[in-house]
């Protein structure tokens, strides 16, 4: 089955493509199909609602099944912010990290708990849809470490290592997106099997 990855974020495309490699599902990015994901208005108030908006948009534009991830960082000391506003928190990755570390200035190590959340939505041309969620808990470090990954990865500490210090494959094995994709693939297998039985 071929899917559109409904995101304009090249890093997410890279992570999804790497994780989908060797599986029965293949994916093409929205960009490769000439779909401008900036046109999809993310005005939902949950990760799931925003993921559905993006997947629905790409499905309608392409006529293909689409999946989208809406993700972000929820920091306990900030009451769960930036959350669904993680991309809009500041203008670029560097500015986002600087702002986050400034907001957490004076917050002790034990109170710097946070989680990454990824909601994946799948939307099919026949109207079927579902969402799944993956979460990974960690802590916000006092300074950036490593140059891997993207976004908040250099300051997100997971079991003593920042996501920015991990290889892509290491991050996939424990990341919010990896967990959400695993659940998504289970749902897709169920749907595919239901369709096969319905055809019999």
Binding site for ligand IMP (CB under 6 A): 9, 70-73, 86-87, 96, 116, 149-153, 163, 175, 177
Cβ atoms of residues 58 and 68 within 8 Å: yes
- What's the closest the beta carbon of residue 68 comes to ligand IMP, in angstroms? 8
Task: Select 129 or 191, whichever has its Cβ closest to ligand IMP.
Answer: 129
- What's the closest the beta carbon of residue 45 comes to ligand IMP, in angstroms? 13
89 C-beta neighbours (distance < 10 Å), count: 19
For ligand IMP, which residue has the nearest CB?
Answer: 151
- What's the closest the beta carbon of residue 31 comes to ligand IMP, in angstroms? 14
> What is the C-alpha separation between 87 and 74, in angstroms, rounded?
12
- What's the closest the beta carbon of residue 105 comes to ligand IMP, in angstroms? 20
Task: Select 48 or 153, whichever has its Cβ closest to ligand IMP.
Answer: 153
Task: Select 150 or 191, whichever has its Cβ closest to ligand IMP.
Answer: 150
Task: Select 99 or 129, whichever has its Cβ closest to ligand IMP.
Answer: 99
- What's the closest the beta carbon of residue 190 comes to ligand IMP, in angstroms? 25
Active site residue 199: no
Q: Exactly one of 38, 43, 70, 93 is catalytic; which is it?
A: 70
Task: Select 3 or 163, whichever has its Cβ closest to ligand IMP.
Answer: 163
Cβ atoms of residues 125 and 64 within 8 Å: yes
Q: Which residues are catalytic?
A: 70
């Amino acid at each position: 089955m071929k899917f559109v990855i409904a995101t304009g974020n090249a890093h997410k495309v890279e992570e999804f493509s790497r994780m989908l490699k060797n599986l029965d599902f293949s994916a093409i990015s929205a960009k490769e199909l000439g779909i401008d994901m900036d046109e999809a208005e993310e005005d939902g108030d949950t990760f799931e609602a925003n993921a559905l908006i993006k997947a629905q948009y790409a499905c309608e534009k392409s006529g293909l099944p689409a999946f989208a991830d809406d993700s972000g960082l929820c920091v306990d000391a900030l009451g769960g912010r930036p959350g669904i506003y993680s991309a809009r928190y500041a203008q670029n990755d560097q500015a986002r990290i600087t702002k986050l570390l400034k907001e957490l200035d004076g917050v002790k190590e034990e109170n710097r708990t946070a989680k990454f959340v990824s909601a994946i939505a799948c939307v099919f041309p026949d109207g079927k849809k579902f969402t799944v969620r993956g979460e990974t808990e960690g802590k916000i470090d006092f300074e950036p470490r490593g140059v891997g990954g993207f976004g908040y990865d250099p300051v997100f500490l997971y079991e003593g290592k920042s996501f920015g210090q991990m290889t892509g494959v290491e991050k996939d094995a424990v990341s919010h997106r990896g967990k959400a994709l695993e659940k998504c693939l289970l749902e897709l297998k169920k749907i595919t099997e239901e369709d096969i039985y319905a055809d019999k």
